[in-house]
Amino acid sequence: MKKYRGVLVALILCLFTGCGATIRMSNKKISRYFTAREALYSATAKRYNMSNIPLSKATDNIYYCAWRMDKVRRFLGTPIHVNSWYRSPRVNRKVGGVSHSYHVQGLAVDFYTKKNPKYVYNKLRRSRLSFDQLIYYPRQKRFHISFRRNIRQERRQAFVKY
């Protein structure tokens, strides 16, 4: 617990005071298992030379989401490989994302693992972990998971999308 105390204090301060800062693409750890680069990297943004740097509210959400994703990572017991996390509104439009996407808020992550995807989907779906949505894309062997800032409002929707 001692080694997480600093992260926990920073997270609590950000949640209640608003960090008011942005994060930059780097290998800086934003949680135990995730880096800023994983949260901000976008192949689409790179291809079209678009900015994908979040504003302060989304930055707070990215840290919060990283904390929640750490729980998912620990529960699965295997590394999580991020496909997409934060998307600026412009990048989100370019990839065809919906206007109310949780990616724009920094509260959604698309990922895959090396474990059997059906096993991962069923394990997460049957778990006691809280999430707003869990979507499994079997053709791409990837997942979308989103969270809300208020855990009590999370719907625990889990479904497969072909």
Q: Distance between CA atoms of 131 and 145, rounded to whole angstroms? A: 7
Phi first, then psi, for residue 87 (nearest 5°) are -135, 130
Q: Distance between CA atoms of 16 and 53, rounded to whole angstroms? A: 22
Q: Taking a C-beta distance cutoff of 8 angstroms, is the pair 26, 36 a contact?
A: yes
How does residue 4 score in pLDDT terms, banded at 50, 70 and 90? Answer: low
CATH class of 2-160: alpha beta
Count the Cβ atoms, other than its own, within 10 Å of residue 161. Answer: 10
Tens digit of pLDDT for each residue in 92-134? Answer: 999 999 999 999 999 999 999 999 999 999 999 999 999 999 9
Q: Taking a C-beta distance cutoff of 8 angstroms, is the pair 102, 108 a contact?
A: yes
Mean pLDDT, all residues of the chain: 90
In the prediction, which pLDDT does 24 show? 72
Residues 6+ apart with CB under 8 A from 55: 22
Share of the chain above pLDDT 70, in %: 86
How does residue 21 score in pLDDT terms, banded at 50, 70 and 90? Answer: low
Element (H, E) at 146: strand 142-146
**Mean pLDDT of all residues in 52-66:** 94
Phi first, then psi, for residue 146 (nearest 5°) are -130, 160
Residue 35 has pLDDT above 90, yes or no: yes
In this prediction the pTM is 0.85
Residue 55: closest CA among 88, 27, 30, 28: 88
First to last CA, the chain: 41
Residues 6+ apart with CB under 8 A from 49: none
